[in-house]
Structure 1
Amino acid sequence: MNLLFARFRPRTTARGPLLGALALGLALTAGCAPPDEPRSLPTPAGSSPNAGHTAAAADTRERLRVDGGTREYLLHRPGADGGAPRPLVIAYHGRGSSAEGMREMTGLGTAAAARDMLIAYPEGLHSGWGAGAAATGRRPDPDADVRFTEALVEELVRTEGADPLRVYVVGFSNGGSMALRMAAQRPGLLAGAAAVAGQLPTGPAAVEPTGAVPVLMIHGAEDPVRPLAGLPSPGPAAAGEEPITPSMASRAGAEAFAAEGGARAPVERSEAGYDRTVWGPGDSRATVELLVVHGAGHTWPGSSVTPPAGFGRTSTSLDATGTILGFFAARRR
């Protein structure tokens, strides 16, 4: 299934009309937007998905030289610098979206302010991420985004007082798979990782965990784009697009992280609107959690941004943003 470039739009209220499309739609781990569509949209004033969201006022567009080129990211500073090192969250957008799209869909800036967290929203090349380990026509260097992330962390530790012992990654869809790749291949860099609607790649682009790291995976039970059971044999991509990367089932990915980290046997329990499976920490203290959200599609639970047609419903039973930041706040290297 090739999907599909669409725009998110905020839900309207009785008090006012739609203020405009907020961000780009999100696609498969290795899909991409049609070439005739714009790659990003301006963020309209006052069109935040979360009530009281004011993250944009504190955000700046930054550039970083990496591998002889320039990469960009959006940086959210939570407020006045008190001098103490701050936790850092790297937030990867989905394919076809943007840093602004990730900010608006998740509301991470607002939620992180109370925890005094820095949030960096990097921009992917061709509006996506090299989440798999294999080269493609558009991504001849499959490790470029790994090096970009490493350089970004180094830069923000040096210039913004980020705490190197409290660095976390999170992402949605293709960005979620990128977060899992960082957790798998650079566990020593991170204090935790989270993915919403992202899975570990398999096949020629396979990524396997190489060390202990706390991981939280959130996946919709009815995801029509990247199914909960994985996508072992995706169909061909459209002409000119990157090949669709096969991926393993979400539970299999969680089990791989748990096994590498020496976690305990899983404990399962049902909660209101979702099922939680926890592989408790062993000697490495690396907890792994999988939350399967009932009735949810290829969406960010708790977001008030309307997903594109074909992505399924957004659950309100779980606040993914708050859950993820709470998971991060309890952990450090």
Structure 2
Amino acid sequence: MMPLTAFRGGAPAGAPGGRPRRLRSPYLLAGLLAALVGLTGTAGCTAGGDDDLPGRDGQPAPTATASRPGSDVPAGSSTHTLDVDGRERTYRLYRPASADLTAPVPLVVMLHGAAGTGEQAEEAYGWTGEADRGGFVVAFPDGVKRAWAASELCCGQPVRQGVDDVAFIEALVGTLRDRMPVDPARTYVTGISNGGLLAYRLACDTDLFAAVGAVATTLAGGCDSPEPVSVLHVHGLRDQTMPYQGGPGKRDNGGTGRNPVKIDGPPLTELMAMWREVDDCSAPKESTDGPVTRSTASCAQGRAVELITVADAGHQWPGGKSNPRAEQLLGLEPPSTALDATAEIWRFFQAHPRPAGA
């Protein structure tokens, strides 16, 4: 087993890959307190702005006679803004009509890849259909200049501009918990490529999520003291951008230039061994069905660490929508149909909420 210390350190203090651990932000505490005392939301959380959320910036807090939680969140897709560190951030929110907002509801945060957007992720990966069937809410945040800062050297303009994307996602989840009865035990994050890098950064630096679904990605930067978290990783064995065997991929530039990209991650076998050590897991069991191989480990308190590889897949979201233009420009293969990554991730999330008392 790869020692956990092999993935620690390597980032300067204050950098995205080496920041002090932030366990519970003020946004999340506010949301949790609201849930504990049974406060309800009021109108005013319309598409296009969150600055007027009730109970913030000196505005009156909601009262017991306010409308039921989530009633001001429109069904279907809506667009919103959120101010974080003096920067206006944007996200899309999908609330299916099937979501029961009279009780705690699961939340999935879906992080797009480099060059993507929240809207693109909503259209490409099938999460709205899965949410319709599962009755959960999905947030699709936007990275600055279509990228995320996941370590001190990756990726792109967010790193150059010193963007704190961990703070953005913390604020986003806290805001949604203020707005509707989001279940802290069933709050999850998933992402592809650069978005997957940020998903792992969130797992390393916060205790925000019960489980992570990482696709076509790796760990960038150190991971000093992660809290236990269930992890499902989906990876194509033909991926040349985030190689299964680790090391820099074909888009790595050493973290230099106008758009720094340094993705020198560990072999996936070692990364999964790290999470098994964090989660106190048993030895993994492996099974293969055609091009799909699963390595699954059961862990303490009902958690799990699972790696799914697809032999004929490259840098992609298996089962996602094909984008011929992007595939041609970037030299990518159409998504494999051997696996529906979205259905697999939601299956995993459903089975692995945060353990009681954790």
Range of TM-score over shorter length = 0.7 to 0.9
Paired residues of 1:132 and 1:245 also in contact (CA < 8 A): no
Q: Does 2:314 correspond to 1:297?
A: yes
User: Which residue of 271, 277, 301 maps to 1:253?
Assistant: 271
Aligned-pair CA distance for 1:207: 3.3
1:268-325 per-position Cα deviation (integer Å, ceiling 9, x unaligned): 11123211011211x2332000001011011111123235132234211111010101
Q: Does 2:283 correspond to 1:277?
A: no
Partner of 2:343: 322
C-alpha distance in 2 between matches for 1:191 and 1:150: 14
Paired residues of 1:197 and 1:226 also in contact (CA < 8 A): yes
User: Which residue of 160, 174, 188 maps to 1:168?
Assistant: 188
Partner of 1:332: 353
Paired residues of 2:147 and 2:158 also in contact (CA < 8 A): no
C-alpha distance in 1 between matches for 2:225 and 2:310: 24
Segment drifting more, 159-168 vs 225-234: 225-234
Partner of 1:158: 178
Paired residues of 1:232 and 1:248 also in contact (CA < 8 A): no
Normalised by the size of structure 2, how large is the TM-score?
0.71
C-alpha distance in 2 between matches for 1:208 and 1:253: 13
SS in 1 for 2:270: helix
Aligned-pair CA distance for 1:134: 5.3
1:239-261 per-position Cα deviation (integer Å, ceiling 9, x unaligned): 42113232122222111111111
Paired residues of 2:92 and 2:118 also in contact (CA < 8 A): yes
C-alpha distance in 2 between matches for 1:97 and 1:316: 21
Matches of residues 179-258 of structure 1 in structure 2 within 5 Å?
179-186=199-206, 188-201=207-220, 205-208=221-224, 210-232=226-248, 234-236=252-254, 239-258=257-276
AA matched with 1:297: G
1:38-78 per-position Cα deviation (integer Å, ceiling 9, x unaligned): xxxxxxxxxxxxxxxxxx98111111121122111000001
Paired residues of 1:134 and 1:142 also in contact (CA < 8 A): no
Partner of 1:35: none
Segment drifting more, 216-225 vs 248-257: 248-257
AA matched with 2:112: H
Q: Does 2:96 correspond to 1:78?
A: yes
SS in 1 for 2:260: coil
1:86-109 per-position Cα deviation (integer Å, ceiling 9, x unaligned): 100000000011001111110101
| Cα 1:232–1:135 shift into 2, 3 Å | closer
Paired residues of 2:153 and 2:262 also in contact (CA < 8 A): no
Partner of 2:197: 177
Paired residues of 1:180 and 1:200 also in contact (CA < 8 A): yes
Larger radius of gyration: 2
C-alpha distance in 2 between matches for 1:72 and 1:111: 23
Partner of 1:62: 80
| Cα 1:308–1:238 shift into 2, 3 Å | farther
Paired residues in the alignment total: 273
Give unmatched runs, 5+ long, in structure 2.
1-73
Aligned-pair CA distance for 1:143: 7.0
C-alpha distance in 1 between matches for 2:181 and 2:81: 17
Paired residues of 2:118 and 2:142 also in contact (CA < 8 A): yes
User: Which residue of 141, 145, 160 maps to 2:165?
Assistant: 145
| Cα 1:220–1:267 shift into 2, 3 Å | same
1:6-32 per-position Cα deviation (integer Å, ceiling 9, x unaligned): xxxxxxxxxxxxxxxxxxxxxxxxxxx
Partner of 2:19: none
Segment drifting more, 131-140 vs 215-224: 131-140
Aligned-pair CA distance for 1:175: 0.4
Partner of 2:24: none
AA matched with 1:230: G
C-alpha distance in 2 between matches for 1:86 and 1:251: 34
Partner of 1:268: 286
AA matched with 1:241: N
C-alpha distance in 1 between matches for 2:298 and 2:113: 29
Paired residues of 1:302 and 1:315 also in contact (CA < 8 A): yes
Matches of residues 12-51 of structure 1 in structure 2 within 5 Å?
none
| Cα 1:296–1:208 shift into 2, 3 Å | farther
Paired residues of 1:183 and 1:209 also in contact (CA < 8 A): no
